[in-house]
């Protein structure tokens, strides 16, 4: 039985970072107390943006010791799983509705010793995750359309977090619920209360005076009713 999360894991999306200083930004984010780095891997085909690939992630691996998770928004993500593992990621997250055989992809991620996550775009039904809950380690509820940082979150997605949380609670294995997109101090408590325990934070980290201040205000906001 999954217990409700009692702590917020903050995963920094570096899509908003200074790409000319990514290694240093990862190091500073670790020092500021984030729990990991969220790499939005975009190929310019599955989504309009083109971001970074395994070589960039591997180069940053040397600058920080915190976990890396890869959110694959690419065509044929299966071909990238090995490269994400070699680049130093511990978790790989895929969109099941973009895959030929989602189960095979998820099992392939786990066979490489990685944690497997399913990502649900705003228009994707919870059932897309539901029928993989026996093998996934994480469900990523996207609160923005995939492809860009800095968007406003879609408040309706809190209902989806609740729906996923009810499903996960009935599983007899540990599954994390992560929210991704437009999460800020003024809305993090709502999704935390709905059952999410892991939060992808991008632009909100760069909107405060320092990363430390942003992390502190997010953690304080999540804990406040
Ligand atoms: C969007 C990405 C998100 C996004 C989060 O496609 O999956 O991770 O970068 O960034 P913010 O927090 O700025 O919405
Ligand atoms: Zn993401």
Nearest atom in ligand 1 to the alpha carbon of residue 119 is: 7
End-to-end CA, the chain: 25
Give me ligand 2 centre to Cα 35, in Å. Answer: 15
pLDDT confidence band for 5 (50 / 70 / 90): low
Confirm if 96 and 75 have CB atoms less than 8 A apart: no
Task: Assess whether the C-beta atom of 51 lies below 6 angstroms from ligand 1.
Answer: no
Predicted confidence (pLDDT) per residue in 161-183, tens digit: 999 999 999 999 999 999 999 99
Predicted confidence (pLDDT) per residue in 47-76, tens digit: 999 999 999 999 999 999 999 999 999 999
pTM, two decimals, is 0.96
Pairwise pLDDT comparison (173 vs 144), residue with the higher score: 144
Distance (angstroms) between ligand 2 centre and the Cα of 18 equals 17
Say whether pLDDT at 6 is over 90.
Answer: no
Distance CA 107, CA 42 (A): 22
In the predicted structure, residue 3 carries a pLDDT above the cut 60: no
* Domains observed in the chain: 9-223 (3.20.20.70)
User: Would you say the CB of residue 203 lies under 6 angstroms from ligand 1?
Assistant: yes
- pLDDT tens track for 71-126: 999 999 999 999 999 999 999 999 999 999 999 999 999 999 999 999 999 999 99
Report the pLDDT averaged over residues 4-27.
91
DSSP 8-state secondary structure symbol assigned to residue 4: P
Q: Chain-wide mean pLDDT for the chain?
A: 95
User: Which long-range contacts link 99-104 to residues 24+ away (Cβ below 8 Å)?
Assistant: 102/128, 102/132, 103/132, 103/135, 104/78
């Amino acid at each position: 039985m999954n217990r409700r999360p009692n702590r917020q894991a903050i995963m920094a999306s570096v899509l908003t970072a200074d790409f000319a200083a990514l290694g240093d930004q990862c190091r500073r984010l670790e020092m500021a107390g984030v729990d990991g780095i969220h790499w939005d891997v975009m190929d310019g085909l599955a989504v309009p943006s083109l971001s970074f690939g395994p070589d960039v992630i591997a180069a940053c691996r040397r600058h920080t010791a915190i976990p890396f998770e890869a959110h694959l928004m690419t065509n044929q993500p299966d071909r990238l799983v090995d490269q994400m593992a070699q680049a130093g990621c511990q978790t790989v997250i895929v969109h099941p509705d973009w895959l030929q055989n989602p189960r095979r992809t998820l099992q392939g991620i786990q066979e490489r010793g990685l944690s497997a996550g399913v990502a649900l775009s705003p228009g994707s039904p919870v059932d897309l995750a539901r029928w993989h809950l026996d093998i996934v380690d994480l469900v990523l509820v996207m609160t923005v359309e995939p492809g860009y940082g800095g968007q406003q979150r879609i408040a309706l997605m809190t209902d989806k977090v609740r729906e996923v949380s009810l499903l996960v609670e009935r599983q007899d294995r540990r599954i994390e619920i992560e929210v991704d997109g437009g999460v800020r101090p003024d809305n993090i408590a709502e999704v935390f209360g709905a059952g999410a325990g892991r939060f992808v934070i991008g632009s909100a980290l760069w909107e405060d005076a320092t990363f430390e201040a942003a992390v502190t205000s997010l953690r304080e906001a999540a804990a406040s009713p």
